[in-house]
Every structure is written in structure tokens, then in C-alpha cells.
Amino acid sequence: MNLIDRVAVVTGSGQGLGLAYAKDLARHGAAVVINDVNQATADAAVAEITAAGGRAVAVVAPVGNTETARKLVAGAVDAFGRLDIMVTNAGILRDKVLWKMTDDDFDAVVGVHLRGTFTCVREAVLRFREQGDGGRIICIGSPAGQRGNFGQTNYSGAKSGIVGMVRTWAMELQRAGITANAVCPVAATAMTETVPFLAPYIDGMKNGEPLPAIIRREVGMGTPDDAAGIISFLASDAAAEITGQAFAVGGDRLALWSHPELTAVEYSDGGWSAEDIAARWTDAFGDSLESVGEEFPEELMAK
């Protein structure tokens, strides 16, 4: 896991999961560009990393537009001479049910998560190709993008789109030795403490209580630090042949999300009329419908 002489940009890394990723990359030797919209938050993150013997600088700017993406890449090159790793973590929430979600709610979330991932990855890849010795793209997705989540049309759509882009980039960038992977973490952060059944466990954790095994294993949720190791692994030479994958990580659990596959297939000579579908629906597809939303242990949901 030696990342000495590697340089990483981690968007949205002033606190929470992004800071955990940046600190772990620095612990393994990488120089890190910290990004946040708040100068004091970014400076504090840089100070924490440098105090531990790491190397870090801050670029304060909102992720989404091309100008910020270029500032981030330039910040890495100006401070450390190159760029090797782009981790797109920056995100916001504007949760509302569909009929109450405004255009601004939708555009703000998609702009940071989806467009911000696209612009930052594009600028990083331009630099990687110029350097000519590969690179690592690590994009942060979410279980909400894999299975949906109530009140998160914008967030689920953006996170699903990120995984779709990663699979495309894995094909486009393979010849250049650039890997692209997605990580879908679950951790106790400001984003998850709003989930009602998780809130008591997160409050307890803040008071020094350990998370129970049912949370760390079956729910797959832990601290931000629990989700950081996969980032450093994917940034390392050990993961040089891993690309186009979506990982689930949190607590004690590490897993791979499957690519979408056809789960039930039937054929009708001459094609399918509405009447044909109705006549054969129950026998052909009735037992094959997919569930929606995350599925949690019943004992947690009953509390």
C-alpha cells in the first residue's frame, strides 16, 4: 500500500468521509489536495494531516463546474508536480418527496454529485493522459443509487449515474492504464444521522459507545475511518487490474455490488402484444420482481 510519490485530489474532504479518505491516503504516503467550500474547514483538515507527518494543501471551491475541476488539478500539479489519484466525494443533500422537490433541489444535487464527478474526472484524465503513466479514478456512489431511497430522487439518480459513468470510463480508459471504480460507503455522518432508526446508534457512538454487531455487519455501517481503507487499496498498485467495479463498504463489511443482469427472460414468436404479456405475466415474471430500497434486519425496523 505504498503511495509515496503519488498525489491525490479528494473532493469534499474537509470533514466526514472525505477527510477520512484523505487522511488514509496521506498515512500511506500520498500527498493530498483537500477540497471544501469553507476555508477554515479546509485549513483544519490540512493542519491535521501535516501534523501527522503528511503532505497536504487546500483548494477552496464548490465542486460542479469545470473551473473548480481545473483548480483542483492545478492545485495538485503546482504543489506536488503531478496528479495520480482523483477521488470524487463532494456531495450535498436536498431531500424531499417527488411532488415537493423543486427544480433547484434537483439541479443542486445533480450539479455537485453527477456533474461534479464528471468535470473532476475529465480534468484528471486529461492530466493522466498527458503524464502517460496511468492513474486512479475512485468515485463515491451510494446504496441509494443502487436500490433507491425514499425522498432522494435527486441523490439516488445522481449516485446511480456515477456508477454508470464509472463502468463506461473503465472501458474508455483501460488502454491508458487508468482504472475507474466506484465505492458506495455507509458511515455515521451528518448524512446518515437523519435516518430515524440509525439516529440512536449514531448518538451512542458520539458518546463513546461501540456500534453493535448488527449495525457493523448486517447493516454494514461504521465510522468514516472504517470506509477509508478501500480508497487507499484502489489507489495502490495492488489494485492495478481492478476496474469498472462498485464496492460496498461500511463497518465490518466489504462487498461488491453486482452489475445489473437480466433475471427473468421469456420469448414470444412475433413479439409481445399487451395481451400476450397479460396472459403470461404471472407465470413468467410474477416471482421475479425486484425489491426497492435498502433492506434492513427486521429487529431494527421494529424499534
The pLDDT value recorded for residue 207 is 87
At 30, give phi and psi (nearest 5°): -75, 145
The pLDDT value recorded for residue 204 is 85
Q: Where are the domains of the chain?
A: 7-257
**CATH number for domain 7-257, candidates 3.90.10.10, 3.40.50.720, 2.40.50.140, 3.40.50.2300:** 3.40.50.720
Task: Name the pairing type of β-strands 7-10 and 178-185.
Answer: unpaired
Which one, of 212, 120, 36, 134, lies nearest residue 46 by Cα?
36
The pLDDT value recorded for residue 21 is 98
d(CA 5, CA 10): 16
The pLDDT value recorded for residue 191 is 65
Q: Please list the rounded mean pLDDT of every run of 10 residues in the chain (303 residues).
A: 96 97 98 98 98 98 98 98 98 96 98 98 98 98 94 97 98 98 90 73 85 91 96 98 98 95 94 96 91 81 63
The pLDDT value recorded for residue 303 is 60
The pLDDT value recorded for residue 190 is 66
The pLDDT value recorded for residue 189 is 75
Angle, CA 106 vertex, CA 102 and CA 109 arms, to 5°: 140
Tell me the Cα Rg of the chain: 21
Active site residues: 142, 155, 159
pTM of the model: 0.95
